[in-house]
Structure 1
């Protein structure tokens, strides 16, 4: 029950009660109307699809009838001369019968030539008077029929009409008049098709389904050709007034005082319109059972709502309570480390969490560039990029998903007027580069030397057969960017290109070798390791490039790369088939390179530890093990010397800070420039060697001095703060209070020695 003491927990319960109970008052109507709307939409869309399908089928039938008329007009058997000739008229009748059989919807087919008193069909030749007597249309007298047969110039469909035959049988049929020759302004005849209305109504019978309504097919003049009526009837006046303003699509109209859903599609082929009308009220009758279900659900939720609200509020509040406890514990840790604490005064638990997150976020933002640089530095030293987790890559906005990778080392000569700000701008610009036209991007790494910078490049090989061509283009793009941005071109060493990012450490060693062996120490020189490897003046058993990489990897203290070079060299010796003497000579090359590098590094004692029989070992495996042991010793001493040098530098930097901490211009960049190392390397090394970060160390020194001044002097607080190099007095007071629990004035009153009465604070530190 302790949860109920929290205002936030009570607020959650109230919110859930509102969310769960109040909307239920409107749920029945909403769901009911939504169900009706969805059902209506489904029916309308289904009807629209069926109407469209019927339109496509009927359009195809009409097009088919037009093609039959066209073939009749060009059929030599059906020319006026041959039709009238008693000898060939039988062939004409047979031809008409064949054309009739080509379409399933043709009830009968007639051929009539203008001015003729005879009409021809698939069953024989008839005098027009006999035809008109035997085929009676209820709404189409023989004079109008005769005139239409002679004067029709465009395909015309007459509405369904009752047609009687001599046997007294009646059928509802449509008459389709098609002049021949088609598209001729002066046709010489007419083909008339009689189509049973049922042939068309059968295509649209399934549109309404179980619903009542009306379905019509109208011609391009708005006349009803076919009507399929279920349950209701509309008069001609209502139909004309409705269809005159009806456009294709789905519409809502009131017909006879009732709401109807009207769906219409129109044919682009012949202008026919297909229309379905259904009363909207019948949609509601299909979802009446939903209303009963919703009412029952309403009462169930009302009963269970309160219990659910409490459970949900508790589940929501529990992780927040844990976060508050976690933030409080971290705040105590921050207090012990003399770091700013999140404010706890006022607000609820969320305010406490937000304040803590803001504090930690600002701290992370400050350290992220240095952490990213440290991460990339380790990648250059050890490789293994593919073993990195996606979360870690995402955290630093890194990706190694391209097909090729290599490393560049950029260097420039530092001048006296090269300020920390300009170096920082170069670092920010080189931190992440992208060249879309070359399908390449790069990540910058600050090296330990302030005048050198590493650049990891990943790219997809384009149409060039040789990846080196694209590498050189990327290098030129980097040079151009540096020239455009900073008006100078650095010296560049370029390592080999590899297909896997796991080999970036090898490319880095090669880039360092190329940079070290560049022809000129001035800016603008580009040296490719591959070119150094190929520039051999004499035949050697081990390529010069391999020996250069071996030497450089030892200088960098990179045992992984050194071991790989040694193993590859020994493996090549094993497969070479050379004599034992030559193998010993080649082994001597490897050993001499390693000993020479050790001597350059100042490790002369290693020569004394070489086993005399290393070159005379019984197998290449023993030679490899001996070389690897020697490489491990050299790399270990390089690491120890580097750590010792870094420790010495950090001690000198700490002493420098102890002397100059009152300088308001003191910063990571200025000290890095003063001691000739990169800011990123300084930040990482300072934290590793002292246990606190750079800014915290300066803050502690300034705090100690402020406390001492408060305890021993009566100087105004503002003057004291300025003396220690801090300009933002209000911010200093807030941080002072977070660390000590009291304001500077209160601290002076509690710890001052003889200055309590006369002390004057010219700043409102409360």
Structure 2
């Protein structure tokens, strides 16, 4: 019977998980894309407005300069002197001249000339009394007394804020009055030129920036007064207007009339006027309506497709679980545990298999052997808990433990006095040591069948109050002889036994196992039916053979130089020489350890301390070929470290040298030779490395640093040129000036006159002369 997928909570979880995996990032990504599109559009509009507002400011500044120039020309025009203007015959020419001046500017509504102390004012339309003029132009806030006073006393060009002016009692127009004293820049001007400028002439230039956006435009003078404005009907309080003036140049976001606005502000350096545009921010959202629609459409399509894909992936993920459930149900069909899952299928499978495997582990005899084998390999059992150890009946109650590694040959012939036994089959000795007790020596043992054929390991525990090594050795000898006697009495096969050192903790059994295996290798190498104790192998006499010192020195040097090929060849030569000699295993291992010691010592000297952790892996090898591979890996690691360290030290040294040059480039003794001597580096190597890293040679780098410093001091200080040149490290001033002119196209004095303060220009010119 198949499981009902539609009722599966696990399948629902998988489906929701897959949907969440793609839906959450998709929502975040969609929001980021939409927000980025809005911000990008807004940023583009705002930066465009900054550029256009700056252009409008430049245009208006140019128009103001034109008005100044017109006033200057009027002041020096021979036809507009007080005598000719008052002359009954030449006054008509003066009026015509004013008409020509008026026509030269596109923003002027009317131009007036007034000679101070008089009651008459002149325009392109003729001469009229001040009372008549004020009757024709009625200013709402500019009283007659203030008007006459300003005409007679203004000392500097002054722009009055725009206001509604009644013209001829019929037409109202918002005008600005711009008063320019003549003659300009003179302490006692004799007259005033007054321009009447329509407010729309200036605001129209700024309004063109907004194009089809709604918003407000303002022009403030340097005192914060509104010279001209176009609010487009938006109510703005005086405090909000003042806040607009207080803004620094750039792009801002502020609230006006309880609505968020994007504000662009620029300030003229010529006359100190501030130009401001303010647009409601909601307009930017409206502009990306089509982008929003497109994003929502794509989002919807992706959600639908992603949901379908999530369902398919969830069903595919669930399919093997469903199959596994069917298998488990078949295995437990006759048992009560085969019931529908309480939470989900995985929990039910986990519970069922856990109980099943638990029973198998207890019943199968190999579980005990597997546990003990893990103990021998790793010093602890990684796959079993203390609870499982107790269930397997394994205990470690003794004070000392050691390992015996036994090897035998089932096909070997027995000794002569046992020849008659050869006619009967030789029984296996493995079942003899599943779990034994040696009461005569207060010891017990667990037998471990090893993966290698005809080999067995015994984990032996015994109690000993005396920690004297000789006493522990005698106890081990007695126990081993008892084990050998028990084997001989049941299975007369030739035995080779290796005995490890005794330890106080079962977690050290893997060390004793390695030692026992080493002792067994010695016994088997000598083809003896004997017992070898690891701690007695050092007493074996060894022949006069060792790794040649020249090979070790060559290996040491190749590692120090980071030459892997030479190191690998040296290792191969050393290993090959060992293969040609008939050397006992103990000595062979010592000789091999001599090679390792050489390499590890070099690694330590090079600061590669982590390779010490690899020591257990390096010392566990079954053949010289395997040892050679491991030594080659270690050599490659050391050489790679040397290479990387060499590159790092080289870069570090160059960085130190560059930092030193940057701090001391003004020292006239600084040269390629002094740098090379200071940092103990070859001049040619340093020159080549410096150009490779910086991109320019040493002399060009120093020249550029000194040039930059000279230019900085020319602009920011008024110090004599000779002092500046000397301070940056040049003693030959004329030569420096020639090189400066060749590179910059002008002399230092001319450069300072153009870009620096004027107070030092003459001094620099005198020094160059």
Q: TM-score, normalised to structure 1's length?
A: 0.43
Q: TM-score, normalised to structure 2's length?
A: 0.43
